[in-house]
Amino acid sequence: MLQIFNTRTRRMEPFEPTDPKAVRLYVCGVTVYDDCHLGHARMLVIFDMVVRYLRQSGYGVRYIRNLTDIDDKIIRRAAELGETVEGLTRRMIDRFHGDQEALGVAPPDAEPSATGHIGAMVHLIERLWDRGVAYQGENGDVYFRVDRFPTYGCLSGRRLEELRAGSRIGIEETKADPLDFVLWKAAKPNEPAWPSPWGHGRPGWHIECSAMSMAHLDLPIDIHGGGQDLEFPHHENEVAQSEAATGEPFVRYWIHNGFVQVGQDKMAKSQGNFMTIREALTRYDRETLRFWLLASHYRSPVTFSEENLVQARFSLERLYLALRGLGEPDSPDSAALAPWQSRFSAAMDDDFNTPDALAVLFDLVREINRVRTADPDRACQLGTGLREMARVFGLLELDPETFLRGGGGEVTDEWIEERIHERQRLREAGQYAEADRIRQQLLDAGILVEDGPEKQARWRRRSPAAS
């Protein structure tokens, strides 16, 4: 049975969705003001894996992931670029969708946008207003009154006194309490604005996710996810607003993924140490990227570096090498796979322990390689199983030769084939020194020639960093 580490309780809990047949999953998506970087990729890939695993485990899943398409950064960026807010967000959403597809991430079942849910947000704020937990400051902004929500801080394990004692909270005199947060921002000149009972303005960030998740999912939501940096204050505020408005529990299991780091630092736009998904995909293939992201547990930090990505590529090559040359089995035999399948599930059931699950895949690879000559049909059985298990990670979806020969390079396949034929002639003539020269020539071009039992030698590309 699946156990999930729930951020709210900080412990493992058996996963029992409200409706055993349909998991309600909401993940905080991205703010569309710029290209997404590898930090966003981690979130996308991790929750893609979560959804795939839940579905493979027999659950129906309704997966909602939002788009924040109105906020300060967007307005500022649009102004800088001399572009309309709508034009900017439309462009960025298209690019984001391109990134998603390029990463092999299945789209969510619905992708609500903030500007498409202004009415729901206003309505939600009205409910908070009616319950006396919202008020309007002198500047026209509407705030949530934090001390009216007794359990404020429960998600992130903070207490109001501790937060107030913190030195980093700026004092804003229009708030009754420095910890109160904005529900509705009064419009400034030349900003996009929508009408509301409190005047023209736009929604605060936190209210978006409360309104959008409730618009698309029944309460309580089973799993609400996002990056660790959203734990406080974003998710804390979501809980406060949602539960204060509805009077019922908002979310049952909170899942937060760890950061992508560069050296010792978190990868972030503000740090300037980021690499966009687009750029990463010009340097590494998507399965290598996914492997790298899934080779660490989702709650641990993962470090972006050339060495780590090259290592991921090599590891993945071992999986593909095992698959190379395996056909379809004569008849499926699930019993042959049972031991690995159960170890794999046990790993995944343990809070999505993908590194442990990957280790099972490698053990399976060893077994495939061991039996492939003596018992080819069993090897095929196991190979099919390997692919099936890897599907949860979005890995091993390519033809092995395609993967192994891919990765780019300056030389054409035709040239390679021609050289290999030439070398084969020399080998048959016993001119090994000449043949080896060609092998070296190919190797210098990043091509590894492998003589097999067949007459025709196989080849594959080594990534440039291999040497």
Stretch that binds RNA, among 36-44, 75-83, 88-96, 108-116 (CB under 7 A): 36-44
Choice from 85, 435, 442, 447 touching RNA (CB under 7 A): 435
Site residues for RNA, 77-106, by CB under 7 A, read: none
CB 125 within 8 A of CB 204: no
Stretch that binds RNA, among 121-129, 359-367, 376-384, 390-398 (CB under 7 A): 359-367
Residue 35 touches RNA, criterion: CB under 7 A: no
CB 88 within 8 A of CB 33: yes
CB 415 within 8 A of CB 386: no
CB 43 within 8 A of CB 293: no
Q: How far apart are CA 209 and CA 121, in angstroms?
A: 9
Residue 467 touches RNA, criterion: CB under 7 A: no
Residue 64 touches RNA, criterion: CB under 7 A: no
Phi-psi region of 302 (alpha: psi -120 to 50; beta: other; left: phi over 0): beta
Q: Which DSSP string do the residues of 227-254 spell out, in sequence order?
A: EGGGIIIIIHHHHHHHHHHHSS--EEEE
Choice from 56, 106, 131, 232 touching RNA (CB under 7 A): 232
Choice from 108, 233, 383, 400 touching RNA (CB under 7 A): 233
Strand 221-227 to 22-31 pairing: parallel
Strand 260-262 to 302-303 pairing: parallel
Site residues for RNA, 283-312, by CB under 7 A, read: 295-297, 299-303, 307-308, 311
Choice from 58, 168, 247, 410 touching RNA (CB under 7 A): 168
Residue 364 touches RNA, criterion: CB under 7 A: no
Choice from 3, 369, 398, 411 touching RNA (CB under 7 A): 369
Choice from 190, 270, 331, 412 touching RNA (CB under 7 A): 270
Closest CA to 109 of 22, 228, 208, 43: 22
Choice from 231, 238, 285, 287 touching RNA (CB under 7 A): 231
Q: How far is the CB of 434 from RNA (least distance, A)?
A: 9
Return the bridge partners of 142, or none: 136, 184
Residue 216 touches RNA, criterion: CB under 7 A: no
Q: How far apart are CA 404 and CA 418, in angstroms?
A: 19
Choice from 29, 394, 400, 446 touching RNA (CB under 7 A): 29
Residue 209 touches RNA, criterion: CB under 7 A: no
The dihedral over CA atoms of 86, 87, 88, 91, expressed in degrees to the nearest 10, equals 120
Q: How far is the CB of 20 from RNA (least distance, A)?
A: 26
Q: How far is the CB of 430 from RNA (least distance, A)?
A: 9
Q: Across the beta sheet with 302-303, what order do the strands follow?
A: 265-266, 260-262, 302-303
Residue 456 touches RNA, criterion: CB under 7 A: no
Residue 205 touches RNA, criterion: CB under 7 A: yes
Q: How far apart are CA 267 and CA 242, in angstroms?
A: 30
Q: Which is nearer to RNA, 54 or 146 (CB)?
A: 146
Q: Which is nearer to RNA, 10 or 21 (CB)?
A: 10
Q: Which is nearer to RNA, 197 or 431 (CB)?
A: 431
Residue 39 touches RNA, criterion: CB under 7 A: yes
CA 321 to chain centre: 26
Q: How far is the CB of 22 from RNA (least distance, A)?
A: 24
Q: How far is the CB of 387 from RNA (least distance, A)?
A: 17
Q: How far apart are CA 171 and CA 422, in angstroms?
A: 77
- Write the secondary structure of 323-390 as one string of H (helix), E (strand) and C (coil): HCCCCCCCCCCHHHHHHHHHHHHHHHHECCCHHHHHHHHHHHHHHHHHHCCCCHHHHHHHHHHHHHHH
Stretch that binds RNA, among 97-105, 155-163, 187-195, 277-285 (CB under 7 A): 155-163
What are 383's two structure tokens?
């190979």
Residue 374 touches RNA, criterion: CB under 7 A: no
Residue 234 touches RNA, criterion: CB under 7 A: yes
Choice from 432, 441, 456, 464 touching RNA (CB under 7 A): 432
Return the bridge partners of 11, or none: 6
Residue 353 touches RNA, criterion: CB under 7 A: yes
Residue 365 touches RNA, criterion: CB under 7 A: yes
What are 392's two structure tokens?
């949860």
What track of x and - describes contact with RNA for positions 315 through 344 (by CB under 7 A)? x--x--xx----------------------
Count of beta carbons in the 10 Å neighbourhood of residue 321? 17
Q: How far is the CB of 449 from RNA (least distance, A)?
A: 6
Q: Name the strand (E) or helix (H) holding 12.
A: strand 11-14
Choice from 8, 202, 252, 266 touching RNA (CB under 7 A): 266
Q: How far is the CB of 77 from RNA (least distance, A)?
A: 11
Site residues for RNA, 9-28, by CB under 7 A, read: 10, 28
